[in-house]
Amino acid sequence: MGIDSLIGGTIWDEYSQKVTDLMNNPKNMGEITEEQAKEMGTKLIVADFGAESCGDAVRLYWAVDPKTDVIKESKFKSFGCGTAIASSDTMAELCKGKTVQEAVKITNIDVEKAMRDTPDVPSVPPQKMHCSVMAYDVIKKAASQYMNVDMESFEEEIIVCECARVSLSTLKEVIRLNDLTTVEQITDYTKAGAFCKSCIRPGGHEEKDIYLVDLLAEYEKEKLAQVATLGNDGATIEFAKMTIVQKLKAVDKVIDDNIRQMLVMDGGDMEVLDIKENGVNIDIYIRYLGACNGCASADTGTLFAIENILKEKLDQNIRVLPI
């Protein structure tokens, strides 16, 4: 598949310069023959790995010194898109000079970060993030062949999505780096949740310890805690103990992240007018705008949904009162 068929219009800007350079001029593409391996006094390892999610595949060649376990040469062949070529080339480069035991610790995050032009900007668009996962897996395949052990024995990470082989640390990193708020965004970036969907939320055909919705909820709590940070000591306080300004900021954030889009889609909106303590209750006074003003469900279903979300995210004693 040619690069022109993958990149067009504005999507080109989502690739780092390193990635575009490696797409056109990979440094480590090729193969290592048995004769070449013998000349180097090394053992040849050839490992294949294919990603069913996109149809791409990669073949990794290692020339390993059997006395030291050092990978003296590393090459690859990629059967896939331009991003797979760039990821595989970076992966092969990262393997060079490392022992097999060190190479097996290279993660897909290491591969993706190595392709960045700047540390905080992803090197590829979200729909291509899974290509680095394939590079991560083929390393483990090669190491398992060299050490004559099961590939799964190298798995130190908690795998949340078995279908796309996406780890807990990868998901947390991608969610935080890109400020993701929905399962659909996670799937775009990592392919997690794209297939059997068991990892999205409880109730799938396979029970999980951690679900994507759990990670989104955890990240949102972290962001809310940052909103509530006091002074320079880094201490955080509960919603009920915040100042009125802090409460307003926290409520506005929850509304922006979870509620406003739902209202705007129906031609409406809302605004927070005031927040008052009323005994054990925290009363939030709101005003509906646009189509929401006078809507039949504004005082029933819509109000119930808004109040439930604010209770879940901030405090169980919240009451929402439209005026």
Structural domain includes residue 232: no
Taking the alpha carbons at both ends of the chain, their separation in whole angstroms is 59
The overall average pLDDT reported for the chain is 86
Residue 229 pLDDT > 70, yes or no? no
The stretch 193-197 carries a mean pLDDT of 81
Identify the domain boundary among 227, 253, 280: 227
| Contact (Cβ atoms closer than 8 angstroms) between residue 306 and residue 320 | yes
CATH number for position 34? 3.90.1010.10
How many CB atoms are located within 10 Å of the residue 205 CB? 7
Q: Which residues are catalytic?
A: 54, 131
For residues 210 and 262, membership in a common domain is answered with: no
pLDDT of 98-143, one tens digit each? 999 999 988 877 888 899 999 888 888 766 766 777 787 899 999 9
The stretch 171-200 carries a mean pLDDT of 88
- In sequence order, the β-bridge partners of residue 179 are none
Identify the domain boundary among 147, 166, 183: 147
CA–CA distance, 273 with 141 (Å, rounded to integer): 59
Identify the domain boundary among 147, 176, 191: 147
Structural domain includes residue 167: yes
For residues 253 and 222, membership in a common domain is answered with: no
Q: How confident is the model at residue 19 (pLDDT cuts 50, 70, 90)?
A: very high
| Per-residue confidence (pLDDT) for residue 126, from 0 to 100 | 66
Structural domains counted in the chain: 3
| Per-residue confidence (pLDDT) for residue 53, from 0 to 100 | 55
Q: How confident is the model at residue 10 (pLDDT cuts 50, 70, 90)?
A: low
Q: Which domain holds residue 203?
A: 157-227
For residues 140 and 97, membership in a common domain is answered with: yes
The SS3 call for residue 215 is helix
| Per-residue confidence (pLDDT) for residue 189, from 0 to 100 | 87
The stretch 182-204 carries a mean pLDDT of 88
Residues 10, 15, 16, 21: what is their CA dihedral angle, to the nearest 10 degrees? -110
CA–CA distance, 68 with 59 (Å, rounded to integer): 23
For residues 214 and 143, membership in a common domain is answered with: no
Longest dimension (CA), the chain: 83
| Per-residue confidence (pLDDT) for residue 63, from 0 to 100 | 98
The percent of residues in the chain predicted with pLDDT above 70, rounded, is 89
The stretch 197-207 carries a mean pLDDT of 87
CA–CA distance, 62 with 312 (Å, rounded to integer): 52
Structural domain includes residue 239: no
pLDDT of 75-104, one tens digit each? 999 887 888 899 999 999 999 999 999 999
Structural domain includes residue 128: yes
Structural domain includes residue 198: yes
CA–CA distance, 154 with 213 (Å, rounded to integer): 27
The percent of residues in the chain predicted with pLDDT above 90, rounded, is 50
Q: Are strands 43-50 and 71-79 parallel, antiparallel or unpaired?
A: unpaired
For residues 275 and 203, membership in a common domain is answered with: no
Structural domain includes residue 171: yes
Structural domain includes residue 15: yes
pLDDT of 37-80, one tens digit each? 999 999 999 999 876 556 678 999 999 999 999 999 999 998 87
Structural domain includes residue 76: yes
Residue 288 pLDDT > 60, yes or no? yes
For residues 48 and 119, membership in a common domain is answered with: yes
